[in-house]
Each structure stands twice: as structure tokens, then as C-alpha cells.
Amino acid sequence: MRNLLFVLAMASFSLLQAGTAVYLNEDAPLEDRVEDALSRMTLEEKTAIIHAQSKFSSPGVARLGIPEIWTDDGPHGVRPEVLWDEWEQAGWTNDSCVAFPALTALAATWNPEMSLLYGRSVGEEARYRDKDVLLGPGVNIYRTPLNGRNFEYMGEDPYLSGRMVVPYVKGVQENGVAVCVKHFALNNHEINRHNTNVEVDDRTLYEIYLPAFKAAVQDGGAWTVMAAYNLYENRHCGQNERLLDDILKGEWEFDGAVVSDWGGIHDTWQAATHGIDLEYGSWTDGLRGGASNAYDNYYLAMPYLELIREGKIGTGELDDKVRRVLRLIFRTSMNTRKPFGSMRSPEHYAAARKIAGEGIVLLKNDNNVLPLDTAARKILVVGENAIKMMTVGGGSSSLKVQREISPLDGIRSRFGNSEVAYARGYVGDTGGEYNGVHSGQDLSENRTPAQLLEEAVALAKDADYVIYVGGLNKSAGQDCEDSDRAGLELPYGQDELIEALANVNGKVIVVNISGNAVAMPWIKKVPAVVQAWYLGSEAGNAIADVLSGDVNPSGKLPFTFPVRLDDVPAHKLGEYTAERTRDTVNIKYNEGIFIGYRWTDMHKDDKPLFPFGHGLSYTTFEYGKPVVDKKTITAGDSLTISVSVKNTGMRAGSETVQLYISDKKASVPRPVKELKGFAKVSLSPGEEKVVSFTIVSDALGYFDAGKHCWVAEPGRFEAVIAASAEDVRGKAAFSLVENE
Ligand code: BGC
């Protein structure tokens, strides 16, 4: 009977579909469509769809009506149109966007709901612009504060990055636009990014550098992944058997397409046999001589076709690549059921402002100097970053925005009743152009540094508040792709300027705009410090929201702020070089798993300036005693940890409760504690809520490289409830016991 029903169902299905090729039928199973399309393609068509046809697009199969793929950066907004074969602007007038906060700011919200809102919003913008792949998000781990691209990533912790990346992926892909999770893997600094060979042990790879990618692929369902420029095990990541074939496609069963970074492929044989499915940007990486419209010369174009025609290589690998690209096409460009998207909508501006407001971190607030007294008559704003547009620059994430509210404009519009004066104080970067997008600002300055300082100090003397808005910017050597910072210090004489201001005014509030930790030698001299990141289109409004108290800050640091660069394990124990070379540079990650708070927890002498997870509020929170629902668990079992949190202050606010797990005795060196859960709770004054976390026994393990699996050793553990890595509020003990 069941067989009969099945036959009848199949018959009616084929009748319905009669005349429609399976690959065109959106109701047919994805794999059937892929196989059908594959079976209709010629060898030439197959090799054509696995490499670019322009700077950001790759061909479809015109004869079969299979559309092209259009990619675009990513990750903070949709990059404007460039010329067919150039990085320069195409000059379109319909391609300005909303810039969302940098991913460091998103991570600092510690709120997966913000990540979903972000993904949906930027995905809608990408969809409206008819993009099929958005080149982001990035989840490379924060190993050194010198990395010029940290602002595009989600911090130092694999669990935090993993939890935060997943909703972004889902939100973007709901729009029928693929994410491209980058840069897989170990692209942890920028200098020599094409020729750095990372040497890292397997345990560190699996515990620190891979989990966020794995989460994006397995929990988020990412449709594409971008292979990094650098080498690992002496092979470029785009041609890397271990990373792409064994781990990504093997262990993680990734069924999507691996996209090369632009110019990240170097050899036809290697690319053909290992991992990469879509080759982009060859001849553009600066390593070799360039050639225009050289797409037929791509490694996976004619050279690959010739190898196949000569019988030197089979077609098995090619078919696998084509299948993956077809899957991508069916999921994106050939999906007729996707929504239409939207751009520059009030909702997107509101989302950008909300995420920015939640990501801003209040680092210090002595005597509750913040929020500002809104009746203040004399506010002095000092610093170039108060007026500088930050959405232009920084590399491939540079945007052309419809509007960007500067901090000064945001503060002026919020404190309209006050006299808000401005002094530049220092000159940093007067540029304002990236690949032909101009900020339109003239930041040229004729005065000397001494004159600028003098003016700012004179005005500061009788101001009610001095709001200093400085930090880094997106020029080379700051927070910028293809370059790293020279040191941890603030550039352009800002330390001297801040000290001078603090000497004449007791209410200097430092707003640091950066995607990286900076040294703060003046920290004891100023009452308040706000970490404001690159916040995109609504930057100034979001900063004013927090300074005024309209938004109660709730961001927490996604990475450690060290006092000195020497306190950073990658520099103390590990290797890093700032010297540019074209030779292969081996960089050993000797510090292993002990980065960020995993290091500071063990080395109390290297007490951080501000720890991972730190962030204050305008209210206060009291934690109850954490309790576990059972004292022992066995493998495969789970346990619930609960703790009450009460708002003991006068304002509504949100607190991110952090759960770390501590293995009290292990056969291998383990961090003192590791983040395994977090929850952001909103509380009205006096309100109390109970926060619960469920921990499965798998979360207790370490990666045993010898056995190549995660191992949770029986013994004593502690659930550590904390408000930051250094601010432990309570502990509850439990044990993992052997299964009977
Ligand atoms: C960057 C990628 C970017 C690509 C395309 C590369 O140089 O590393 O992150 O997506 O260019 O612009």
C-alpha cells in the first residue's frame, strides 16, 4: 500500500514537472537539481563557473539559463560598485549604503539578538543591491593588538565569536544572500599576509582558532567560506588539504563552496586537487605582475582545462567544485523565492544605532561623572576623531555611505541647549579616500601641533566637561587591512594631549575610537573612558546616546586590553614580525592556547588594563550565589547552573552574566577558566531575574591532539559566574564522573 502511494505521488510529481528540467524546478531536492545541471554542462562550462569573470563576479552557464554569481564586501555594509576589472569606482549613484558598526562592536554587545538584527539588515542591503555573496563576517581570533584587521573580527574568545557569528550568518542568508566566512584560517595579522606560514599545534588550532568557523558552518549553515591568504603547514590556505579537505569538508561536512581570497591562489595543480572551489582576484595580489582581464589565465581556468584535456588530471575534483558552486547558485542567484531586500531604510539606520549603542563599552566611570549632566552649559569636544568620517578607509570593508553622523554632530544635536565648543587638538590622518570613494571632508590643517594643543588646553580650562574623542583611524598602520600597527600606543601625540587636558580639567572623558586595544598611560588622570569602536553611519548619535544616558551602556570587551605590548603572550612567547618581506616567514604560535584572559588568569603580574568581558553600566548589579542542579554529571549528560542578578541602582540597565568553566585538575595544562556561556539580562531598578545556563559534558573537555578528539576528564570542575574575566561573582562546584 505504501509503495503504491509512493508510486502515485511520484507519477503526479513527474506529470506536474513534465517539460521542466529538474535543475529549474525549485521544488525538486537540491541535490537532484545539482546532478541534473552538472549532467548538462560541458567541460568548458564547468571550468568557467569555478573562477571569476570580473573583479567580484563569476559566470553562470548562459546556455542553460544558470545565472552568474555577484559577490561584494562585507562585512559592515555593502561595498560600492567597482569597474569590471578594477578596484576603482564604477561611478554608480545608487550604491551608497548604511554602514553598520564594525564587528568588534557587534561582539561587544554580547547579544546574539543584535547579531541577528545585524545579519538581517546588512543582508537586506546586499539583497537589494542584487548581491549573491556578502564577503564576511570575519572570525579570525584576536591574537595581537597590532593586527590591522582586528576591527573586522569578533575578539579573542572562540566561544564568544562562535555564538555571535551564527545569528549573523542566519540573518544574512534569510535573504537568499550567502555569507562568506573569512579568513579560513590563522590570518591573525596583516604584514606579510601572503607569505606568513603559521606554525601552531593541533590543540591550539582546534581549541582557539577553529571553533568560530566551525560554528558558522555547522550551527549557522554558512554557504561559503573564504580561504585565507597565509600558509599553514607550508601550503597556502586556499590550496590546503588539511584545512579545506580534511577539516572543513571532511570533519565538518561543509557542503558549500570555498572561495579564494582575492589573489590567494598560486598553483593550478594544488588548487585543482585541494579545496578551493571558486577562484577570485588572481593577478591582483601584488605578488606578481598584473594583467587586465586575465580571467582565462586564472589557475582554475585554461591551465586547469589543459591539464584535464591532456589527461594529467581527472574530472572528479572538478565535478565536486562544480557541484558546490551550483549549490551556491541555487541557494542564491537562482533562488526566485528570496525576498527583495531594502536599502538605506529607517529600520536599517535604527538597527545600526541600536547595535552601536549596545556595543559601546564604558571602561571607567569614577564618581559617576557619566552620564553627562544634560544641563551642562559648557561642553568642549577635543580630537580629530570627533569630526573624521570613519566609514571610508581600512581596506576592503571601506564603504560609500548615504550618511555618517560624526561624534561632534551627534553630541551637538543631543546637547543642543549647551554650548558645545570644538578644538581639534592633534592632526592624525587628513586623507579621506579609498579606491575612489571620497569622504568629502577637508581635514587639512596649517597650525602646528603645539598650537593645536595650546588651543585645546586653553578652552578646556573653563569647560564643564571635556569630551576627548581620539584613538586610531582607518589609515595604513592603524586599523587597516594589509598593515599592522607599529605599537600599542595612541599615535599623533595623543597621550601628551590627554595629559595636558587632564591637568587643567578634572572632567576629561576619553572616548576611544578603535578596533584594537590601546595603551592608556594617563588612565589614572581621567575619570571616565568609553570604548566606542567604529560605529558606522550612526556613530555620533550612538555615542551621544551613551554619554547623555539615553542609552545605559551594556557593552563588554570582546578582548583584553593589556597595559603593555610585552604583556601580550603572542609577543612575549610567540612570534610576530613587522618586517615586510617576500620570502616565506614562519610564525610560531608558541603561546599556544594561552592568549587573552587565558594568559592573564595565569600571570597575575600581567594584570590587564581592562580585562576581557569588562564593561560598566550607569546602574549596579548584585549577583546571588550560583547553584548547580546536580553535583555530578556523566559523559553525555548536562547540568544547569543558575544565578540571580538584581539591579540595585536607580536606572534600568542590562548586564551580561558570564559563565566560565574551570577544570580543577587535569592531566594537561588547562586555562584557569574558559568562557562557556553568557546571557544578557535587562533589569528595571530593583528588579531581579534568575539566569540559567545548561552545560553539556562536552563543554568540559580539551582537544587531545594525539587521539584527535575532545576529551573531558572525570574529576572536579567549577562553574564560575563572573561580570568579567577578572570580576568573579560566585562559584559552584560539580564533578564529572565515569559512566557506570
Ligand atoms: C581581503 C578580503 C576581501 C577581498 C575582496 C581581500 O584583499 O582580504 O577580505 O573580501 O579582498 O575585496
Q: What is the 3-state secondary structure (H, E, C) of 19-75?
A: CCCHHHCCCCCHHHHHHHHHHHCCHHHHHHCCECCCCCEECCEHHHCECCEEEEECC
Residue pLDDT, tens place only, 641-663: 999 999 999 999 999 999 999 99
Among the residue ranges 4-13, 47-56, 408-417, the one predicted with the least confidence is 4-13
Q: What is the mean pLDDT of residues 581-591?
A: 97
C-alpha cell at 7: 508510486
Q: What is the predicted pLDDT for the residue at 557?
A: 99
Measured in Å, residue 616 CA sits from the centre of ligand 1 at 35
Q: Which residue has the cell 584594537?
A: 516
Q: What is the predicted pLDDT for the residue at 1?
A: 44
Burial code of 514-538, b = ≥16 C-beta within 10 A, e = fewer? bbbbbbbebbeebbbbbbbbbbbbb
Residue pLDDT, tens place only, 566-575: 999 999 999 9
Q: Is the CB of 397 under 6 A from ligand 1?
A: no
Instruction: Name the pLDDT band for 604 (thresholds 50, 70, 90).
Output: confident
Inform me whether the pLDDT recorded for 8 exceeds 50. no
CB contact at 8 A, 182 and 136: yes
Burial code of 353-384, b = ≥16 C-beta within 10 A, e = fewer? bbbbbbbbbbbbbeeebbbbeeebeebbbbbb
Rounded Cα distance between 74 and 584, Å, is: 29
Residue pLDDT, tens place only, 238-288: 999 999 999 999 999 999 999 999 999 999 999 999 989 999 998 744 445
Inform me whether the pLDDT recorded for 231 exceeds 80. yes
Q: Is the CB of 73 under 6 A from ligand 1?
A: yes
Inform me whether the pLDDT recorded for 342 exceeds 70. yes
Q: What is the mean pLDDT of residues 125-140?
A: 98
% of the chain beyond a pLDDT of 90: 92
Cα R_g (the chain), whole angstroms: 26
Q: Whose CA is nearest to atom 11 of ligand 1?
A: 262
CA atoms within 13 A on the CB side of 442: 2
List, in sequence order, every residue forming a beta bridge with 71; answer none if it has no partner: 133
Q: What is the predicted pLDDT for the residue at 377?
A: 82
* Residue 347 CB neighbours (<10 A): 13
Q: What is the mean pLDDT of residues 505-515?
A: 98
Measured in Å, residue 431 CA sits from the centre of ligand 1 at 21
Instruction: Name the pLDDT band for 7 (thresholds 50, 70, 90).
Output: very low
Q: Is the CB of 74 under 6 A from ligand 1?
A: yes
CB contact at 8 A, 677 and 693: yes
Rounded Cα distance between 694 and 682, Å, is: 20
Q: What is the predicted pLDDT for the residue at 285?
A: 40
> Is residue 261 flagged as an active site residue?
yes
Q: pTM here?
A: 0.96
Measured in Å, residue 23 CA sits from the centre of ligand 1 at 32
Residue pLDDT, tens place only, 689-719: 999 999 999 899 999 999 999 999 999 999 9
The single residue of 261, 479, 484, 601 carrying the catalytic annotation is 261
DSSP at 278: B
Q: Is the CB of 262 under 6 A from ligand 1?
A: yes
Measured in Å, residue 330 CA sits from the centre of ligand 1 at 24
Cis upstream peptide for 185 (omega within 30°)? yes
Q: Is the CB of 396 under 6 A from ligand 1?
A: yes
Q: What is the predicted pLDDT for the residue at 19?
A: 65
Please give the number of the atom of ligand 1 that sits closest to the Cα of 138: 9
Q: Is the CB of 147 under 6 A from ligand 1?
A: no
Please give the number of the atom of ligand 1 that sits closest to the Cα of 152: 9
C-alpha cell at 669: 595544562
Residue pLDDT, tens place only, 148-169: 999 999 999 999 999 999 999 9
Calculate the average pLDDT of the chain. Answer: 95
Amino acid type, 695? I
Q: What is the mean pLDDT of residues 221-236?
A: 98
Residue pLDDT, tens place only, 445-463: 999 999 999 999 999 999 9
Rounded Cα distance between 406 and 540, Å, is: 5
Please give the number of the atom of ligand 1 that sits closest to the Cα of 193: 8
Q: What is the predicted pLDDT for the residue at 11?
A: 45
